[in-house]
Each structure stands twice: as C-alpha cells, then as structure tokens.
Amino acid sequence: MAAKKNVLVRFFNETKSELNKVKWPSRREATNLTVIVVVTSVAVGAGLGIIDYIFEKLIFLIIPR
C-alpha cells in the first residue's frame, strides 16, 4: 500500500513540476486568441450555412417536391 502511495505522490509532484515549466499566456493574449477562435468559428459556420442553403435550393430546382 505504501508503494502505491509513493507512486501517486511522485506522480503529482512531477505533474506540478511540469506545470511550473509551462509558459502560460497573459490575460490579454488569452482574450485575443479566444476572440480569434470565436470569430473564425462564426465565419466558418456562416459560410457553411450559405453553402448549405445554395445546395438546398439547387437540389429543389433539380428535384421538385
């Protein structure tokens, strides 16, 4: 049981050590990157929506209801 506890303690100590090595982004960098991701997602979604709408209209022109 003590061996398992040592392994677990070592694991968490190494994890903490690795997290201390990470260069975390500043608040401003994180905000800017988040805005970029959201804007890109909305743009791609809108583009796909437009393409879907166009294909829907084309299909209904070819195959009437």
**pLDDT tens sequence across 1-44:** 667 778 899 999 999 999 999 999 999 999 999 999 999 999 99
Report the pLDDT value the prediction gives residue 6, as an integer from 0 to 100: 87
**Structural domain of 45:** 25-65
How far apart (Å, rounded) are the C-alpha atoms in residues 64 and 7?
Answer: 68
Q: Is residue 1 part of a domain?
A: no
Q: Is residue 49 part of a domain?
A: yes
* Count of structural domains within the chain: 1
Q: Is residue 14 part of a domain?
A: no
Please enumerate in sequence order all residues whose Cβ is within 8 A of that of 25, keeping only pairs 6 or more positions apart, or say none. 33
Q: Is residue 46 part of a domain?
A: yes
24 against 65, higher pLDDT: 24
pTM recorded for the entire structure? 0.65
Q: Is residue 36 part of a domain?
A: yes
How far apart (Å, rounded) are the C-alpha atoms in residues 38 and 44?
Answer: 10
CA torsion sign for 21, 17, 19, 25 is negative
